[in-house]
């Protein structure tokens, strides 16, 4: 069996969407003739934990760990911040301590605060690979400093290397909030271009990101999207509670706060007491304070069911029991090419999806092609009301029917077969 080294920062016990792509690939790669060897941090400062993902990793996967130094403990101590989420970067007014910390993060940790993991990882993996060679290397970012590990190993050993981008690098929306100097910005661009040009193949997870990279490098650029694991959705769907549940799973950030939606729901509740009594806004995951305040301002505080962070299995159960699945994107033009990982699980849940974002973006394309729902602009109150009224009418008739669109192309097993074919192609580039 051929061997592939996967270098990933996010790995169990990490929670969140960043860990799932390669946990699922590694789950199914052995059946495709590839044995994964995973290198991950030993002591990472993860923003959320979900040990349940550990059960997804086959015992045959070889796991290597390397210690990492990260500055986030010092950041939290200095600023009083409670997390390391992107919302700490992009949200509103900041104290002088926060501004100083952001300047240090932006200009001294390039490309990101995990860059201190590069040198010791390269030293360890060079020795390991000489004694235990592999047929290919994969790096998956963000954090994009992980790609610098693959770059140095590829230069030293010549092993074929795939650079997997779960999100863009210099085109990522939140970089605009970092107070980067012109020198720092040029260094980001230079590092990104070197990775694109030197790797054997670039792997994107959305078609629009693939198109962007193809315009900037002569290196082959493949696209394998995220997806859903059929095994997570086996068995009958959970019985509903008879209420009209609009459910969101995952991080609901302030810069993706669908304020117009809350106002429309508030108006519908004011006009219809039965709607008010049945409506539940089920929030599964971290929710920024600004979102909860906007819901309350719309007169819907009594309709909130805030469950906080749940493990993956519980989140899937919530998805499958929903009347409507809510998926607002961040309200930023640079978010247009992004496909949120939860989108594919929403598809597998077979519940109607209310996407909020650009109608010509990557997410809108997938929802439309799959016949899974609608994508409506953030401020389009008319279309939001129309969608919700139809869903409410279906609820009154006995429940919103399941979706029947074609979503098989997003199966994790099928996507892993595509990855295995790509690995075999890259392996021949020695």
Q: What is the pLDDT of residues 4-32, one digit of tens each?
A: 999 999 999 998 888 999 999 999 999 99
Contact criterion met (CB below 8 Å) for 246 and 320: no
To the nearest whole number, what is the mean pLDDT of the chain?
92
Rounded-to-integer distance, Cα 278 and Cα 69, Å: 49
Query: Quick check: 74 pLDDT over 70?
Result: no
User: Which whole number is the average pLDDT over 341-362?
Assistant: 94
Which residues make Cβ contacts (< 8 Å) with residue 193, sequence separation at least 6?
216, 217
pLDDT value of position 191: 98
Comparison of pLDDT for 337 and 78, the residue scoring more: 337
Element (H, E) at 230: none
pLDDT value of position 81: 60
Lowest mean pLDDT among 86-90, 129-133, 260-264, 269-273: 86-90
CA 146 to chain centre: 17
Query: Quick check: 102 pLDDT over 60?
Result: yes
* Burial (CB count <10 Å: 0-12, 13-18, 19+), residue 276: middle
Specify the DSSP class assigned to residue 237.
Answer: P
What is the pLDDT confidence band of residue 318, given thresholds at 50, 70 and 90? very high
Q: pLDDT tens digits for 281-302?
A: 999 999 999 999 999 999 999 9
Specify the DSSP class assigned to residue 228.
Answer: B
Q: Of 110, 96, 104, 95, which is closest to residue 72 (Cα–Cα)? A: 104
Instruction: Show the tokens assigned to 19.
Output: 């860990």
Rounded-to-integer distance, Cα 177 and Cα 332, Å: 12
User: Which whole number is the average pLDDT over 330-353?
Assistant: 92
Rounded-to-integer distance, Cα 113 and Cα 268, Å: 45
Query: Quick check: 243 pLDDT over 90?
Result: yes
* Letter string b/e over residues 280-316, b meaning 16 or more CB atoms within 10 A of that residue's CB: bbbbbbbbbebbbebbeebbbeebbeeeebbebeebb
Contact criterion met (CB below 8 Å) for 292 and 342: no
Name the CA radius of gyration of the chain, rounded. 22
Q: Which residues pair with 106 in a beta bridge?
A: none
3-state DSSP assignment of residue 306: strand
Which residues make Cβ contacts (< 8 Å) with residue 246, sequence separation at least 6?
265, 279, 280, 281, 282, 322, 323, 324, 326, 354
CA 212 to chain centre: 19
User: Which whole number is the average pLDDT over 371-386?
Assistant: 96
Query: Quick check: 88 pLDDT over 60?
Result: no
Query: Quick check: 264 pLDDT over 60?
Result: yes
User: Which whole number is the average pLDDT over 196-212?
Assistant: 96
- The torsion defined by the Cα of 380, 386, 388 and 394, in degrees rounded to 10, comes to -160
What percent of the chain has pLDDT above 70? Answer: 95
Domains in the chain: ranges and CATH: 2-69+110-227+411-427 (3.40.50.2000), 230-408 (3.40.50.2000)
In this prediction the pTM is: 0.89
Query: Quick check: 83 pLDDT over 70?
Result: no
Lowest mean pLDDT among 152-161, 330-339, 346-355: 330-339
Q: What secondary structure, in 3-state letters, does 339-378 show? A: CCHHHHHHHHHCCCEEEECCCCCHHHHHHHHHCCEEEECC
User: Which whole number is the average pLDDT over 178-187?
Assistant: 94
User: Which whole number is the average pLDDT over 135-155?
Assistant: 98
Between helix 72-79 and helix 96-108 the angle, nearest 10°, is: 160
Contact criterion met (CB below 8 Å) for 234 and 362: no
Query: Quick check: 86 pLDDT over 70?
Result: no
Cis omega (within 30 of 0) for bond into 13: yes
Query: Quick check: 148 pLDDT over 90?
Result: yes
Rounded-to-integer distance, Cα 53 and Cα 30, Å: 18
- The torsion defined by the Cα of 39, 43, 49 and 52, in degrees rounded to 10, comes to 50
User: Which whole number is the average pLDDT over 233-253?
Assistant: 88
Rounded-to-integer distance, Cα 163 and Cα 156, Å: 16
Contact criterion met (CB below 8 Å) for 129 and 96: no
């Amino acid at each position: 069996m051929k061997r592939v080294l996967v270098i990933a920062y996010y790995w169990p016990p990490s929670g969140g969407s960043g860990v799932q792509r390669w946990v699922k690939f590694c789950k199914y790669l052995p059946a495709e003739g590839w044995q994964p060897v995973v290198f991950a941090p030993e002591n990472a400062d993860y923003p959320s934990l979900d040990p349940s993902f550990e059960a997804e990793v086959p015992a045959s996967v070889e796991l290597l760990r390397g210690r990492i130094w990260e500055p986030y403990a010092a950041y939290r101590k200095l600023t009083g911040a409670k997390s390391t989420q992107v919302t700490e970067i992009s949200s509103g007014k900041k104290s002088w301590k926060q501004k100083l910390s952001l300047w240090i993060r932006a200009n001294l940790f390039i490309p990101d605060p995990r860059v201190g993991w590069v040198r010791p990882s390269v030293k360890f993996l060079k020795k390991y690979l000489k004694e235990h060679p592999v047929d290919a290397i994969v790096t998956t970012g963000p954090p994009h400093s992980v790609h610098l590990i693959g770059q140095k190993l590829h230069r030293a050993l010549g092993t074929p290397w795939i650079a997997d981008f779960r999100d863009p690098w210099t085109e990522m929306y939140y970089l605009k909030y970092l107070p980067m100097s012109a020198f720092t910005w040029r260094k980001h661009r230079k590092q990104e271009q070197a990775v694109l040009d030197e790797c054997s193949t670039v792997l994107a997870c959305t078609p629009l990101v693939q198109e962007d990279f193809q315009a900037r490098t002569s290196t082959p650029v493949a696209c394998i999207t995220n997806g859903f694991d059929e095994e997570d959705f086996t068995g009958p769907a959970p019985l509903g509670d008879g209420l009209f549940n609009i459910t969101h799973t995952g991080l609901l950030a302030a810069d993706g706060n669908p304020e117009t939606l809350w106002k429309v729901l508030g108006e519908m509740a004011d006009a219809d007491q039965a709607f008010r009594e049945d409506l539940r806004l089920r929030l599964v995951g971290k929710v920024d304070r600004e979102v909860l305040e906007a819901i309350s301002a719309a007169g819907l505080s009594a309709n909130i069911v805030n469950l906080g962070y749940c493990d993956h299995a519980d989140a899937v159960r919530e998805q499958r029991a929903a009347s409507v699945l809510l998926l607002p994107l961040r309200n930023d033009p640079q978010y247009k090419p992004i496909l949120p990982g939860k989108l594919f699980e929403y598809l597998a849940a077979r519940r109607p999806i209310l996407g909020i974002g650009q109608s010509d973006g990557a997410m809108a394309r997938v929802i439309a092609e799959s016949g899974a729902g609608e994508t409506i602009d953030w401020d389009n109150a008319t279309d939001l009301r129309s969608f919700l009224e139809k869903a409410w009418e279906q609820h009154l008739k006995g429940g919103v029917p399941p979706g029947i669109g074609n979503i098989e192309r997003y199966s994790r097993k099928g996507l892993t077969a595509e990855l295995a074919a790509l690995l075999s192609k890259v392996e021949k580039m020695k």
